[in-house]
Amino acid sequence: MNCTAILAQAVETAGQTQAAKETVVPIETIWTYITSLNPLEAITFISFGAVCLFYGWRVFKILVIISFAILGMGLGIVLAGKVSGDDHQILGGVAGFVVLAVISVPLMRWAVSLLGAAAGGILTSGIWYACQLNEEYILAGALIGIIAGGMISFIIFKVAVMLFSSLGGSGLMVTGILALLYLYPETTEQVKELVFNESWFLPAALVVPTVVGIIVQNKFYKGSSNWSV
Q: Return phi, psi of residue 101, to 5°.
A: -65, -45
Distance, in Å, from the CA atom of 219 to the CA atom of 222, rounded to the nearest integer, reads 6
pLDDT in tens, 149-197: 888 888 888 888 999 999 999 999 999 999 999 988 888 889 989 989 8
| pLDDT surpassing 90 at residue 56 | no
pTM beyond 0.75: yes
Distance, in Å, from the CA atom of 80 to the CA atom of 119, rounded to the nearest integer, reads 27
- Identify the burial level of 14 via C-beta atoms within 10 angstroms of its C-beta, where 0-12 means exposed, 13-18 middle and 19 or more buried: exposed
Distance, in Å, from the CA atom of 168 to the CA atom of 174, rounded to the nearest integer, reads 10
pLDDT in tens, 101-160: 999 999 988 899 899 999 999 999 988 888 888 878 888 888 888 888 888 888 888 888
Residue 224: the pLDDT is: 60
Q: Return phi, psi of residue 65, to 5°.
A: -60, -45
Distance, in Å, from the CA atom of 87 to the CA atom of 202, rounded to the nearest integer, reads 37
Count of helix runs (H) and strand runs (E) in the chain: 10, 0
Closest CA to 229 of 46, 52, 64, 67: 64
Higher pLDDT, 85 or 74: 74
Domain ranges of the chain: 26-58+108-220
Residue 223 pLDDT grade (very low, low, confident, very high; cuts 50, 70, 90) = low
Cα–Cα–Cα angle for 115, 149, 171, rounded to 5 degrees: 55
| pLDDT surpassing 60 at residue 19 | no
Residue 10: the pLDDT is: 38
